[in-house]
A and B are shown apart, each in its own frame.
Chain A
Amino acid sequence: MSSPEEKTLILKSSDNEEFLVKESVAVQCITIKNLVEDGCDLDAIPLLNVDSKNLAWIIEFMEKYADSTSTDAEKKDFDTEFVKKPFNDVLGLILAANYLNFPALMDVMCDACANEMKLWSVEQVREKFHIQNDYTEEEEKAVRAENFWAFE
């Protein structure tokens, strides 16, 4: 009776919360698609590296992108709102998109991350990315000279 499009999957987050998602929507994540195609017959698909907070967002994104009635303009507007999250959460979603192999989400989140980075000073980038400046004074001078045009 139920066609493949109507099949619903149960996705389980790392903190054991279960989410119902239509199979046709969930297979935008290649990781999930592969599991389904390999005939995974578990009751729920465990996503060990994705917590419920991120999974809820990912499902929101997946459903918007699977909706054939939403136009490109609507998706863009959705993206603009969707990425308005603290930087930490942006990074978290990037990692989750990587684990789930969800290219559309990855592209949107990486773009959002880059857009934020553009606005920061070198010091701010170091702070947010927890990067230790291990250059000696001479090395730093050499780098600035090598790419002089980028630092003016």
Chain B
Amino acid sequence: MCSGRSEADLISNLPGSIIDNIMGCLPLRDAVRTSILSREWRYKWVTCPELVFDFWFDQMFLGNHKLEQLVYPILKLHRGPLVKFALQVPAFRSCPHIDQWVDLMQNNTIQDFTLHISRGDSHRLPFRIFTFHQLRKLKLYKCVFNPPPGFKGFNKLLNLDLQNVDLVHETFASFISACRMLERLRMIDCTSFDCLEIDSPKLKFLEFHGVFRFIAFKNSPLLEEVSISFSSMEFKTGKSFSSNLIDSLSCLPSLEKLHLQAFALEELAEDGLPRNLPVTLKTLKILHLSDMYFEKIEEISCVLCLIRSSPNLQKLKITAFTFDVVESVGEYLRAQKSSDCLLAQLKTVDMLLFSGVEPEMEFVKYLLASATGLEEMAILPHSGSVSDGGESILNELTPPPNNFNNHQFVKII
């Protein structure tokens, strides 16, 4: 141990900014506990720039005190710029207190705001939230999001994460459009859309789970990662759903990574099995298709069609959802001539929840034959359907047909 004198010198030399930095790393409760150290420390915690009420905060009180009683006094004691406020505790319900808390927050410093309502009715966001002009990140769960008339957008917002949020169709598109710096948009189980318009010049990442009939990308030159999944099949009401979707996606000049559910493509087959798409997804490098049933020729042909129309695809990931074994699907796949289209750029394939039934195996064999540059095929067996750890699957697939590299690159993971 060092001599007491030099230690004390060290600590008395700690500038305030360092204390703030250390305090910022402490969870809220520990930071507040420092108030008891000495008179000098009594209100050091009140300038901490973040107030996070989360699962860990909640756990410490185990129902002795309700969160509602604590937030107001803490906010009242708080001084200095509040940069981050997060409220995400289990079993939290909407209450009028929330609006009182928002009233206490300085609207010109908050950059990161999270409000997570777990139970009961959605919370109607107070208009004051829309005066938080410094917001970079906004995360809402179970709220009603209704910007006031004339709202000009959060012009510094980078990251918007909405889950179970009620949106107003007429104003949402213009809201997104007004947030010119937006880079990440996540919408999970929000209001259903007839037409979802995305006009977002800096958007790089979009994740959507819910319902829309059409999606239109206006001016999204940087969008490189898109994940779309539908919570209901009811959207498939008319013709051309799938081709509209693919058309919209093909307008994205930077699209590199795409996730879709396989059934979203099925309507490409409504006028007969497609060979190729009228558009090419030239920039697509990574494709993930989930919920693939392997039970309908339409599904298989549309999937192959999409793969063939992505000439620069490097990685393919398929999450299977196979229940019934349909013989005609296996036959259809065997009939596909692999030489029709060589997937020269495809390097990795991941097959997840793989049951090893004939249609799946034929699909894999087709890929092994067509992907001349394939380096790795990884298969994750579906534990409910495969009892031998994938051994029989592996035996059937190796050595792969037309083994160009003459080494085994199929593996069970």
Interface residues of A (CB under 8 A from B): 86, 88, 91-92, 94-95, 98, 106-107, 110-111, 113-115, 117-118, 122, 125-126, 129-135, 139-140, 143-144, 146-147, 149-152
Contact = CB atoms under 8 A, between A and B. Distances in A.
Nearest to A49: B13
A88 B32 contact: no
Contacts of B22: 94, 110, 113-114, 117
B37 A125 contact: yes
Contacts of A94: 14, 18, 22
Contact of A135 (B2, B17, B18, B38): B38
Given A130-B8, A133-B37, A147-B35, 17 more contacts: A88-B1, A88-B2, A94-B22, A95-B18, A98-B18, A110-B18, A110-B25, A117-B30, A122-B37, A125-B37, A134-B38, A134-B40, A143-B35, A149-B70, A150-B29, A152-B61, A152-B64
B403 to A, nearest CB: 32
Among B4, B38, B65, residue most surrounded by chain A Cβ atoms (within 10 Å)? B38
Q: What is the interface of chain B mostly: helix, strand, loop, or mixed?
A: helix
20 contacts: A88-B1, A92-B10, A95-B10, A106-B21, A107-B21, A113-B25, A114-B25, A114-B26, A114-B30, A115-B25, A122-B33, A122-B37, A130-B4, A131-B41, A132-B38, A134-B38, A143-B42, A146-B73, A149-B65, A151-B33
A129 B308 CA distance: 66
A129 B36 contact: no
Given A114-B22, A132-B38, A147 B32 contact: yes
Contact of B35 (A91, A106, A133, A146): A146
Among A115, A129, A146, residue most surrounded by chain B Cβ atoms (within 10 Å)? A129
B27 interface: yes
